[in-house]
Structure 1
Amino acid sequence: MTGPAVRVDTTSPVPPYEQIRAQLAALIVAGRLIENERLPTVRQLAADLGLAPGTVARAYRELEAAELIRTRRGAGTRAGIRVAAPPSEPQRPHPDQLAALARDFISAARALGAGTQAILAAVRKALE
């Protein structure tokens, strides 16, 4: 992963694994990490962030369950979705992509102290 760095705010109420998951999901869905781009190993990212490997492993497991990354023995962990659609067909977001974006927004809003009603109001306003 040569692109944007993942950062963890240890003072945030959002757990570190969720911060990692949300940031990587957002980078993948936005196309800043492209399909097949290699991610750091669990141990490497944990060392870079000063976290326990289990924390990074949990984030990777959740990303893999959402089919945003794939891990293969010997091939490492790679971004796993294709962001760009062929020019002839309109791009439709995958439900997992939308769910990841929603989780990311909710996590960020909660970190700011927003409650459920404020979050829903912000989404409604953005949809208008």
Structure 2
Amino acid sequence: MELRIDATNPAPASEQVRTQLLAGVREGSLPPGAKLPTVRQLADQLGIAVNTVARAYRLLEEDGIVETFGRRGSFIANQGDAIQQQLQAAATQFARKAASLGVSAKDAQRVVVAAINGELG
């Protein structure tokens, strides 16, 4: 998978790296266990600061998408589909909140669909 930084994109370079890596995980071009380039290698390849790549990797680690093992490097996490796990956790949290507010399933679905359409188009 080849990553690129788009200078015309208003998103910070770290966010561009993060979203491209997430897309690779979703598409399957970065399967569980895939070794990622070192922070320094990817920074050199993209022409950006090392700290920028390190931030992207750190955010992906916090989300359970990437695992880093010191000198062995960074890898796509093996613990199943972390993206689906996070979506399920968020959906469950939303459903619990809606139930605690006494919202009907139909109204909760309407709110979710509106939010999804607003964020994802």
Fold shared, TM-score > 0.5 on shorter chain: yes
Please provide the CA RMSD for this pair: 2.8
| Distance in structure 2 (CA, Å) of the matches to 1:22 and 1:94 | 17
Higher RCO (C-alpha under 8 Å, 6+ residues apart): 1
Counterpart position of 2:106: none
1:80 partnered with 2:71: no
1:19 to 13, 16, 21: 16
2:85 to 70, 90, 94: 94
Counterpart position of 1:9: 6
1:54 partnered with 2:51: yes
Larger % of helix: which?
2
AA matched with 1:73: G
Tell me the CA shift for residue 35 of structure 1.
1.0
| Distance in structure 1 (CA, Å) of the matches to 2:30 and 2:65 | 10
Larger radius of gyration: 2
Please give the TM-score of this superposition, normalised by the length of structure 1: 0.64
Unaligned runs of at least 5 residues, structure 2: 91-114
After the TM superposition, list the runs of 4 or more consecutive aligned residues in structure 1 that deviate by more than 3 angstroms: 96-99
Q: Give identity over the alignment, percent.
A: 39
Counterpart position of 1:37: 34
Counterpart position of 1:120: 118
Q: Tell me: CA distance 1:97–1:20, structure 2 relative to 1, closer, same or farther (3 Å).
A: farther
Unaligned runs of at least 5 residues, structure 1: 84-91, 100-116, 124-128
